[in-house]
Structure 1
């Protein structure tokens, strides 16, 4: 009697992720000719706008222990990492609907792969900014403590993945969720302390702004880049990870609970 060879589930999952990664990488970098341009141009445009605004409001004095422009660029890149984790994960299920005909592929697979690919692309873009700053020698963006900076960069990626898992389910089942999320992205950028430091807000407002885990992640990321930076009082790594792990658990539960509805959607 012949025995049917079976592969370990992890081997199957790894093969699925590899195939999806190649598919997503080609679609992300080759299909849209302007894709690479906008990934680089977006933070540059934001920075140029803030350079113009800085001359009127003297924003340098608002940040203690770090030059304003590198401080802002680090915040922008960290925020974009979280934001793209949400938005790319949001459309991952619908874009790969046909692949669910293969029982090896489940809805969570394209979400993880898309967010992972986006993390790699954003890391590459960030490295370009750091290299460009070092070459130009103008307010160079180089981490004072590379280990802390790297750990919090990865931490923000995990937060983006957790949010991506949640919104991928909600946006697939309820179309209006995607519209609402895109509308709140700009207010969230401002309220996360990306452009202006949280310290300028009244104390009572800071208590509410600190409920946002992105604020905690960005402040710790900046501490890795600027050793003398004074982070806003109240930021906590423990709070960041408690919220992130809770969001991750919610995302995994939603994918488990609505797996069959997502496949048949």
Structure 2
């Protein structure tokens, strides 16, 4: 399965990029088969998880009327967009935790590096999440609900930006979690608090100013607000939302994660 040797089938030398591309393709196919075929319910749960969560929150909305707190957007589409965006970041971060251990046997090939496993796994995850999001958009249209983005190009850019943050966090925690197992437990514990503090379920505009100042340190909140602004033209983002702050976090985590992989490459391979 792995055509990753430095020479091609006819004995010709291959460039480093050709070798890397072969590694990524082989690992991508391996991850895709493992992710979608080994579990008979894998596809079902990828679609059912956000759907069930949305239905639960719609039921809760009947009691608290959260849609009255949102200006310029319907509550259900607003929450679906937030959920899809949050899942991209969350899965990018959590999938990075087990990427190195799951591909440990492949590091016997000198062409395969630990960072490759994280990059490939995150790329596969964003492909699956994008497909699921498109299915939600089509399903919403069939139900007469407007879930199409008002600014499609901006929406695609903001979706890519959320993936970049998930990738950066995944690179960092993949190294930290491999070297210090307790990191994985902490990352899984903070998923639910992050869901709430990122404004996925309820709008944060009505929070007291002193509390909102601290919540705005969360970069995921900025990414989700920018994504929602791309989908709903009249939506009023939380005061203080900044694309620059968000990209500092996304690029900073990616740079830090790559540096950590370079620094601890040998230790990761030897685990």
TM-score normalised by the chain length of structure 1:
0.97
Q: Displacement, 1:5?
A: 4.1
Does 2:191 align with 1:190? no
Counterpart position of 2:217: 211
Partner deviation per Cα, 1:5-34 (whole Å, 9 max, x = no partner): 432111110000000000000000000111
2:112 to 97, 105, 113: 105
2:29 to 22, 31, 40: 22
Tell me which residue corresponds to 2:72: 65
Distance, in Å, in 2 between the alignment partners of 1:19 and 1:200 is 49
2:175 aligned with 1:175? no
1:127 aligns with 2:127: no
The aligned residue for residue 169 of structure 2 is 163
**SS of 2:238's equivalent?**
coil
C-alpha distance in structure 2 between counterparts of 1:130 and 1:197, whole Å? 21
Helix, strand or coil at the partner of 1:199: coil
**1:34 alignment counterpart:** 41
- Counterpart check, 1:46 vs 2:31: no
2: CA distance, partners of 1:126 / 1:143: 12
2:3 equivalent in structure 1: none
Listed as ranges, the gaps of 5+ residues in structure 2 are 1-10
**CA–CA distance in structure 2, aligned partners of residues 243 and 175 of structure 1:** 24
Q: 1:148 aligns with which of 137, 146, 154?
A: 154
Residue 16 of structure 1: SS of its match in structure 2? helix
- 1:204-238 Cα shifts (integer Å, max 9, x gaps): 11111111110110000001100000001100111
Within the candidate set 67, 81, 94, 2:88 is matched to 81
Residues 172-198 of structure 1, C-alpha deviations (whole Å, 9 max, x = no match): 111111111111100110000000111
The answer for unaligned runs of 5 or more in structure 1 is: none
| In structure 1, C-alpha distance between the alignment counterparts of 2:57 and 2:12, rounded to whole Å | 60
Equivalent-residue separation in structure 2 for 1:214 and 1:33 (angstroms): 32
The match for 1:6 among 4, 13, 18 is 13
Whether 1:260 and 2:266 are equivalent positions in the alignment is: yes
DSSP-derived class of the 1:179 partner: helix
Q: Matched residues in 2 for 1:5 and 1:29: separation?
A: 35
| 1:169 Cα deviation after fit | 0.4
Q: RMSD value over aligned CA atoms?
A: 0.9
Separation in 1 of the partners of 2:218 and 2:204? 11
Task: Give the equivalent residue in structure 1 for 2:6.
Answer: none
